[in-house]
Amino acid sequence: MKAILSNIRIAPKKFNLVAALVRNKKAVDAIDILKFTPKKSARPLRKLIESAVANAENNFKQKKVDLYIKEIIVNGGPTLKRNMPISRGRANPILKRTSNIIVKLDVLKGATKKEEPAKKETEEKTETPAKKKVTKSKSKK
């Protein structure tokens, strides 16, 4: 269960600062943390984690609350090389770095599938109020 983001125009060093906040946390908690993180790289990382969660739910039939971030790998992508003109006709190089990110999710060890008993409990709760009979008691005076 993973998701990949390639060639995002943010330096890997800056991405790693935000990735360190959410490593080895529950996926739901990581999304909440990233919503309130004031860094440029927080939004793409949050969307990437949401994509990995959606992949796990859709392809592997996992529950969102049972997932945690196993690892986040941030690698450097291709570097865009530009020049800044300076005095005397010279030019200084500018390196615009890009990143490739891989998010891998896993299921918590204590999580098990208990979908059927939960459905039975809800059915019993809905049936119970309908079966109750209201009887009026006569009070003696």
Show me where the domains of the chain are located: 2-84+92-109
Q: Does the pLDDT of residue 84 top 60, yes or no?
A: yes
Lookup result for tokens 């993973």: 2
pLDDT-derived band at 14 (thresholds 50, 70, 90) equals very high
Q: Does the pLDDT of residue 120 top 80, yes or no?
A: no
Tokens, residue 44? 């793409």
Order of strands across the sheet with 99-107? Answer: 2-8, 99-107, 67-76
Q: What is the pLDDT of residue 122?
A: 52
pTM of the predicted model, to two decimals? 0.76
Rounded CA separation 68/27 (Å): 5
Instruction: Note the residue count of the chain.
Output: 141
Quick one: CATH architecture of 2-84+92-109?
A: Alpha-Beta Complex (3.90)
Q: What is the pLDDT of residue 16?
A: 96
Rounded CA separation 51/59 (Å): 12
Q: Does the pLDDT of residue 87 top 90, yes or no?
A: yes
